[in-house]
Amino acid sequence: MAGTSDVTIIGGGIVGLATAHALAQQLPDSRITVIDKEPDWGSHQSGHNSGVIHSGLYYAPGSAKARFARAGGEAMYRFCAEHGIPVHRTGKVVVATGEHELPALRELFRRGKANGVQVRELSRAELREREPHVRGLRALLVPEAGIVDFPAVCRKLAELLAEHGAQLLPATELVGVRRDGNQLVLATDREEIRTRWAINCAGLHSDAVAELAGTEPPARILPFRGEYYHTTSFRRRLVNALVYPVPNPAFPFLGVHLTRTIDGGLHVGPNAVLAMAREGYDWWTWSRSHVRRLLQDRALRELAREYWRTGLGEIARSVVKPLFVREVQRLLPELRGRDLLRAEAGVRAQAVTPDGKLVDDFLVVEDEHWVHVLNAPSPAATASLLIGEDIAARISSRAR
C-alpha cells in the first residue's frame, strides 16, 4: 500500500508539527503527511524539557537562535492564548553567586540588549525582594520569559492539522528512502509514501535520517541526558518564578536551574550527561550499536579531550545526589536533599562537528528534495512556530 503526498515530515515533535502547520497555511492545497515512530506526538525532546519560553538573552547576536527566540516566544504566547493552552509570563532572573561570574553576567546583559530583549540589572537587595530565598551578588531580570505546557501545544498542532486534512501517521517509522523519477519513496514499517519533498525533523535521529536520505550530515548527534528533580510540595514556594545560574560560556547548556512549572510544581535541573543510547533516559538504557559508534567517533574523542573535567563533574552530580544538591544550594541554600524527588529526565539532541565542536546554533541543510533540520536544541520549542514558518517557506518557494 502506498500513500501519496506533496510534503512529508519525518518527526512529530513540536518543530515537525509547527512546520506542517505553517505549510498548511502557506500551501493550503498541498497534501501534507507527518510520520513519527512513537504512538504519541512530542514524545521526546518536546515532552521532556523545562517548559520554559525563552527570551533570546543567551544567544550570539545575529545567530539564528537570537533571530528566532524573542519573536518566537511572543508567537508562542499568542498561539497559547488563542487556543486556551496554559501559559504564564513569569519572568526570570539569572544570578551571579560569585565575583568571578560578574563579567559573564555583564556579557549576557550586552547580548540581551543587542538581541532586543527586555533586561535590567538587579542589585542584591532587588534580587532578594523578588526571590527572597535565592542567594546572589547581582542578577539580570528578564520579564519576557515564561512557562507553558509544550505537550499541550503539540496536541493542539496535531488537532489543527487533522482539521486541515493532513495525514497524521504516528507509530510509523522510516526505514528506507529511494528516488523514483522526480519523487521520493519513503519506506516505513507500515507502508510506502510517495512524496515530492521531505523534511527531516527527527531530532535525536536526524543525522540517521539524513544518512538514509543519502546525505552526509556535517554534524553528528550526541544525546545528552538532562536529569531533573522536583521538590516536595511544601518546598515549592522557595522560588517564585524562574531562577538560572550564569551559564558556562563554553557549553550550549544553561546549567542547573529552578523553574516553576505550569501545574504549580518546582523543577530543579537539568545536568548534562552523555547518554548511552539516543533515547537513554536513565543509566540502565544502553544501545550496543550506539556505544560502539561513540567509541569509534572522532568527534567524541576530541570533545572528551577538551571537556573531560566538565564531563566527570556532570557524571558525579548524576550518581551522587549530595553533589547535585550542593550545586543547587549555590542558588538556593535552604534546599536539602530530602526536599528533592527524582523526576522524568530528558535527552537533548546535540550536534557535534567532526572536529569535536558543539554546534551552538540551529543547523539546516537542504538539497533538491530534502530539508534536514540537524540541530534544533533550546530555544527550538520556544521558537518552533517561527522555525516552522521558515522551513515551510523553503518548500513553498520551490512549489510556486
2: pLDDT confidence band, cut at 50, 70 and 90?
low
Give the pLDDT confidence score for residue 297 in this predicted structure.
81
Tally of CA atoms within 13 A in the half-sphere of 307 that contains its CB: 21
* Average pLDDT of the chain, as a whole number: 93
**CATH number for the domain including 104?**
3.30.9.10
Give the pLDDT confidence score for residue 353 in this predicted structure.
92
Buried b (16+ CB within 10 A) or exposed e, 31-52: bbbbbbbbeebbbbbbbbbbbb
Q: Which domain holds residue 140?
A: 89-144+223-348
- Residues 6 or more apart whose Cβ sits within 8 Å of residue 17: 34, 41, 42, 154, 157, 158, 161, 384, 388
Q: What is the mean pLDDT of residues 218-235?
A: 92
Residue 160 C-alpha cell reads as: 489543527
56 domain residue, yes or no: no
pTM (2 d.p.): 0.95
- pLDDT at 1 exceeding the cut of 60: no
Q: What is the mean pLDDT of residues 190-206?
A: 96
Look at the chain and count its residues: 400
Residue 232 C-alpha cell reads as: 516536595
Q: What is the mean pLDDT of residues 102-121?
A: 95
Within this chain, do residues 208 and 155 fall inside the same structural domain, yes or no? yes
Within this chain, do residues 208 and 227 fall inside the same structural domain, yes or no? no
Which tens digit of pLDDT belongs to each residue from 250-275? 666 778 899 999 999 999 989 999 99
Residue scoring higher pLDDT (335 or 248): 335
Give the pLDDT confidence score for residue 250 in this predicted structure.
63
Domain count, the chain: 2
Which tens digit of pLDDT belongs to each residue from 57-111? 999 999 999 999 999 999 999 999 999 999 999 999 999 999 999 999 999 999 9
Percent of the chain, pLDDT > 70?
98
* Whole-number Å distance between alpha carbons of 293 and 304: 15
Within this chain, do residues 262 and 322 fall inside the same structural domain, yes or no? yes
Give the pLDDT confidence score for residue 249 in this predicted structure.
65
| Nearest alpha carbon to residue 373 among 218, 234, 152 | 218
Residue scoring higher pLDDT (254 or 189): 189
Within this chain, do residues 175 and 113 fall inside the same structural domain, yes or no? no
Q: What is the mean pLDDT of residues 161-179?
A: 96
Provide the H-helix boundaries in the chain. Answer: 14-26, 64-83, 102-114, 124-130, 150-164, 206-212, 288-296, 298-319, 321-329, 384-399
Give the pLDDT confidence score for residue 79 in this predicted structure.
98
- pLDDT at 118 exceeding the cut of 70: yes
Are residues 88 and 146 in contact, defined by beta-carbon separation less than 8 angstroms? yes
Q: What is the DSSP letter of 50?
A: -
Residue 358 C-alpha cell reads as: 558543539
Give the pLDDT confidence score for residue 301 in this predicted structure.
79
- Residues 6 or more apart whose Cβ sits within 8 Å of residue 226: 48, 49, 269, 270, 271, 272, 273, 345, 346, 347, 348
**CATH number for the domain including 21?**
3.50.50.60
Within this chain, do residues 105 and 228 fall inside the same structural domain, yes or no? yes
Within this chain, do residues 335 and 276 fall inside the same structural domain, yes or no? yes
- Residues 6 or more apart whose Cβ sits within 8 Å of residue 52: 92, 145, 146, 147, 148, 242, 259, 382
Give the pLDDT confidence score for residue 305 in this predicted structure.
81
Within this chain, do residues 132 and 174 fall inside the same structural domain, yes or no? no
* Whole-number Å distance between alpha carbons of 229 and 243: 15
Residue 45 C-alpha cell reads as: 525532546
Give the pLDDT confidence score for residue 251 in this predicted structure.
65
Rounded to 5 degrees, φ, ψ at 154 are: -60, -45
Give the pLDDT confidence score for residue 159 in this predicted structure.
98
